[in-house]
């Protein structure tokens, strides 16, 4: 880890599980904060057992390791008076508390914002819920696929004749975690000026609605659902040729471009009949014409012509192809995490500070691994 990280000296307590708040804790740790997970004795963060493709490391899921590296772990039972007293002493010395439990859970245990503010008025208390703390959906399960579905996001991906299509990643969790970090950093800046703590609240639903601001603003204005292309859909608000197209040996992506310039670049005479003002009204017709033409030559052939003409196009890579590419290698996005049973290759923090990339080789903690260390360093004096 580089010296002088901006959040060094900050103490963060993470009462959280699965992905959203733990991803926020991960980024704070990457930026130098000391992040301590508070976990249930015996079981810990439920994400420890959330195995993807049955991949495990040190008795925890590989997924848990990717989102909890560079943290510490202590165990505490919120129903046990001795553990509660220990946690309150720790909170009095902390800068930030994170949690993503359902509304009312932390309050019921005596660890809500108002209760902890009396213990530490300078505390930044940051929480994530599924749908907000009020309203008819507040107790619904805050799971990523369910949120993608209820916010209409699944109607933006895939072709028009297809059923709704979800993202292939936990987009709500990751977005909301990133926005939680933004809120925490803003509150820390204000605290530096005023000495006051803050309550930061986010929900997965609000993060996904914000994610769709472009589409929703259009819908609020004209009252019309976004219309996906029947074929080669890339963005429901953009006209042809925007989308992905098969070639003789793979696929290429075409972004926004003048349709006549495209016709000239790829020598496609049938495209020349379409004026600029037809790229949305005749979107599928144009795309069908284009698809028929592009499948006749390999990707490299088309990309050479498109790039020579200054048009925005790119090959579509899978992860193996991407990883072999010099452009990917130059970013140095991979790092090694050292575990008891060997190393894990994962991604690094994408932020650079003063030209330096942020690497951290510490693995995710074993359950309760730092019980004695935290007591000795923070509580026994």
Active site residues: 173
Q: Look at the block and give the residue holding tokens 């003789």.
A: 248
What is the signed CA dihedral for 230, 234, 236, 238, rounded to 10 degrees? Answer: -110
Structure tokens at 170: 């936990």
> Helix (H, G, I), strand (E, B), or coil: what is residue 196?
coil
Q: Are 193 and 119 in contact (CB under 8 A)?
A: no
Rounded-to-integer distance, Cα 293 and Cα 288, Å: 9
Furthest CA-CA distance within the chain = 80
Number of alpha carbons in the 13 Å side-chain half-sphere of residue 180: 33
Rounded-to-integer distance, Cα 53 and Cα 110, Å: 38
Q: Are 44 and 367 in contact (CB under 8 A)?
A: yes
**Cβ neighbours for 258, distance < 8 A, ≥ 6 positions apart:** 276
Rounded-to-integer distance, Cα 78 and Cα 91, Å: 13
Q: Look at the block and give the residue holding tokens 């949305």.
A: 280
Rounded-to-integer distance, Cα 292 and Cα 271, Å: 11
Structure tokens at 80: 């046990």
Rounded-to-integer distance, Cα 45 and Cα 177, Å: 16
Dihedral sign (CA 43, 102, 87, 177): positive
Number of residues written out for the chain? 381
Rounded-to-integer distance, Cα 50 and Cα 63, Å: 7
């Amino acid at each position: 880890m580089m010296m002088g990280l901006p959040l060094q000296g900050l103490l963060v307590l993470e009462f959280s599980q699965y992905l959203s708040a733990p991803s926020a804790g991960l980024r704070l740790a990457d930026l130098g904060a000391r992040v301590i997970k508070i976990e249930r004795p015996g079981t810990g963060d439920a994400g420890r057992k959330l195995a993807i493709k049955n991949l495990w490391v040190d008795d925890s899921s590989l997924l848990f390791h990717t989102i909890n590296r560079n943290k510490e772990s202590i165990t505490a039972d919120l129903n046990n008076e001795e553990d509660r007293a220990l946690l309150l002493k720790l909170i009095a010395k902390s800068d930030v508390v994170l949690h993503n439990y359902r509304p009312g859970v932390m309050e019921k245990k005596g660890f809500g914002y108002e209760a902890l503010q009396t213990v530490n008025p300078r505390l930044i208390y940051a929480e994530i819920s599924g749908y907000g703390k009020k309203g008819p959906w507040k107790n619904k399960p805050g799971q990523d696929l369910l949120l993608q579905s209820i916010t209409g996001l699944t109607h933006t991906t895939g072709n028009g004749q297809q059923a709704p299509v979800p993202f292939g990643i936990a987009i709500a969790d990751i977005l909301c975690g990133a926005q939680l970090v933004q809120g925490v950093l803003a509150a820390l800046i204000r605290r530096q000026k005023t000495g006051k703590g803050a309550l930061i609240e986010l929900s997965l639903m609000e993060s996904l609605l914000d994610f769709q601001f472009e589409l929703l603003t259009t819908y609020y204005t004209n009252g019309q659902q976004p219309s996906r292309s029947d074929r080669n859909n890339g963005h429901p608000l953009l006209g042809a040729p925007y989308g992905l197209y098969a070639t003789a040996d793979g696929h290429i992506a075409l972004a926004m471009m003048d349709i006549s310039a495209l016709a000239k670049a790829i020598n496609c005479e049938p495209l020349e009949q379409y004026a600029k003002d037809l790229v949305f009204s005749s979107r599928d017709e144009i795309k069908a014409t284009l698809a028929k033409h592009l499948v006749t030559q390999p990707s490299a052939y088309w990309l050479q012509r498109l790039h020579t003409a200054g048009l925005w196009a790119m090959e579509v890579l899978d992860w193996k192809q991407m990883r072999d590419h010099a452009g990917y290698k130059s970013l140095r996005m991979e790092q090694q995490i050292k575990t008891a049973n060997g190393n894990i290759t994962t991604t690094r923090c994408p932020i650079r500070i003063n030209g330096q990339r942020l690497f951290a080789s510490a693995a995710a903690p074993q359950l309760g691994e730092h019980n004695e260390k935290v007591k000795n360093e923070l509580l026994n004096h």
